[in-house]
Structure 1
Amino acid sequence: MTRNVRKTIYLSIGWFFTGLGFVGAFLPILPTTPFLLVAVWAFSKSSPRLKRWLFTHPKYGHHIRNWFEHGAIAPKAKILSLSLMTVSVGFSLLMSENIYVPISLGVIMVAVATFILSRPSPSAVAIKSQ
């Protein structure tokens, strides 16, 4: 695969996930930051200018920088994520006729919640670096 083809593929991935991220800013069921993290990754392989644009975005830039520089997730984002995961598992318990679906979803959610809770908070990272 040539360099130009690869660059075009990464640019396409970046724009696709940027679009999903900005749609997620207006739809409460669609997350924003994870999509923008994928977009930054794709832009880092294809366009430093677009990567810089996302890193310096007034609303989402600090979340993206915290993740890429420190692996940090803001406490508010942790609480929101865990709350929505709990609601999802509860909803699956109510709606699913097969008990294995909510059990499987619950196991996955516990694993994801463990990962989210294991990430540092931006304020803790700032304190350690001083």
Structure 2
Amino acid sequence: MAQAVRIFWATLGSLALALAVMGVVLPLMPTVPFALLAAFCFARSSRRVHDWILNHRHLGPPIRNWQERRAIGRRAKWLATASFFGSVGIATVMALPPVAIAAQALCLACCAAFIWSRPDA
């Protein structure tokens, strides 16, 4: 049973890591949330991969900032906020129903409020 649980966490961690790497090159795809999820999963399945993620020169610093101080970098906050506006803008240009745009805007405003309430890394 314990082996099945480790396989589950390793699979989920691998998927999250793949999404984090995609987020590095895709403009509206987030990187850090998926890297945080990957670190969480690998902490439960593979100490070696967990340590590799934490020591990675690009993925490691935001994860450590979050784990140590629950902090988000100022640049990341601005990029997230810009992507929120871009997302609502795209939905508006696509002429989605106003209720859908309003729901999206409300959810993203809540996300922005959370992000900006965290200390700067």
Quickly name the TM-score band, shorter chain normalised.
Answer: over 0.9
**1:25 is paired with a residue of what secondary structure?**
helix
Q: Which runs of 5+ in 2 are unaligned?
A: none
Q: Which runs of 5+ in 1 are unaligned?
A: 123-130
Across the aligned residues of Structure 1 and Structure 2, the Cα RMSD in angstroms comes to 1.1
Q: How many Å separate the matches in 1 of 2:96 and 2:107? A: 19
Q: TM-score normalized by structure 2?
A: 0.94
2:80 equivalent in structure 1 = 81
Q: TM-score normalized by structure 1?
A: 0.88
Q: How many Å separate the matches in 2 of 1:97 and 1:87? A: 14
**Which structure is higher in RCO with an 8 Å CA cutoff and minimum separation 6?**
2
Q: Are 1:67 and 2:66 an aligned pair?
A: yes
In structure 1, what residue type is equivalent to 2:89? G
2:108 equivalent in structure 1 = 109
Q: 1:97 to 1:48 in 2, by over 3 A?
A: closer
Q: Sequence identity, in percent? A: 31
Q: Is the 8 A contact 2:28 2:83 kept in 1?
A: no
Q: Are 1:47 and 2:46 an aligned pair?
A: yes
Q: 1:97 to 1:45 in 2, by over 3 A?
A: closer
Q: How many Å separate the matches in 2 of 1:11 and 1:92? A: 35
The runs of at least 4 aligned residues of structure 1 exceeding 2 Å deviation read none
If you compute each CA radius of gyration, which structure gives the higher value, 1 or 2? 1
Q: How many residues align?
A: 121
